[in-house]
Homo-oligomer: A and B are copies of this chain.
Amino acid sequence: MPEDVSLATVAARAGVSVSTVSRIVNGEMRRASPATVARVLEAVEAVGYRPNPVGRALKRGQSQLVAMIAANLDNPAMATIASSTEAALREAGYVMVLCDTHDRPELQDEYLEAMRAQMVSGYVLVAAVPSPGLSELSASRAPAVFVNRRNPGGSGAFVGIDDRAAGATVADYFIDRGRRALAVVFPRLGSSASRDRASGFLARLRERGWADEAIIQAAGDGRSHLQIGYDAGSRIFVGSDAPDAILSVSDQIAYGLNRRALECGLKIPDDCELVSIDGTPLNQWVAPWLKSIEIPYALYGAEIVAGLQLIWRGAPFGERLLPCKFG
């Protein structure tokens, strides 16, 4: 039960000054005599000393906290990113503070300000939305890694996948399977990720001789991707020109599409093939009818923290695109 032991406690027990203890605790061994080092380490051990991060933060002007500002924790993909980042940060000796902005710019700014006040040593921005505070953050050159959605302000480290390539892969797949009536469903006001997935899909189709007009593009608005998918289904699945293959830029959109398809008496994938980009593990349990490009969200944490550490060391870190699995 490590009680409130401070540097002073250890110093008294070891018969040295707090300065000396501080140095040794911080690994500056060479500046002290071996005998002193031994005595101090023994005392540290004996009283169970652990540096107080608050005192340290105040002096250094920087805490061991890292802020994760996420758009929506209820999204399983975000939850997995949060979970893996938290684990990687802990490994590196940091503590993650989680802020859920619910996609609202004012809330995002409120958090950005609160985290600055907490003297966090870095920011992880998952699907950040444009906001004044975000611009300031970029301008301040604070250590930040953007995830999924690139910095709307342009520059900044990024961890994600090659979204355009993912879309293109699906285009190739559909063509090679002989699909004739293609559709793509995406949120109208989406992230850079959604946009890039859809445009990568369309671009590849164009390359392979398809006219843009031949492809159903269903952009959706709405509270959730589930709803966007459902609504798009309402438009797509009626009439005789229903598609025989659909790219959904997220799993949740695909869930919504499937729900509507069922209501229309359509069976996926028999009547219409559906491919999404996400591939969360839940799919195999509740959506075996869904084919996906699997984004390795569980690996994001390690990459994000590696990126932060590079930035802290002053090394360059542009972007890290993780490989996806299709199948």
Contact = CB atoms under 8 A, between A and B. Distances in A.
Interface of A: 1-2, 50-55, 57-58, 63, 65, 72-74, 76, 79-80, 82-83, 86-87, 90, 95-100, 102, 110-111, 113-114, 116-119, 136, 226, 255-256, 258-259, 282, 285-288
Contacts of A54: 54, 57-58, 63, 118-119
A74 B80 contact: yes
Contacts of A136: 1
Nearest to A229: B285
Nearest to A140: B1
A98 B117 contact: no
Contacts of A102: 87
SS class, residues of chain A in contact with chain B: helix
Contact of A79 (B50, B79, B95, B116): B79
Contacts of A114: 95
Nearest to A96: B98
B113 A87 contact: no
B58 A83 contact: no
Nearest to A48: B113
In the complex, the 4 A-B pairs of residues with the closest C-beta atoms, listed nearest first: A73-B83, A286-B286, A79-B79, A98-B98
Contacts of A255: 282, 285-286
A287 B74 CA distance: 17
A82 B114 CA distance: 19
Contacts of A113: 2, 50
B52 A55 contact: no
A118 B53 contact: yes
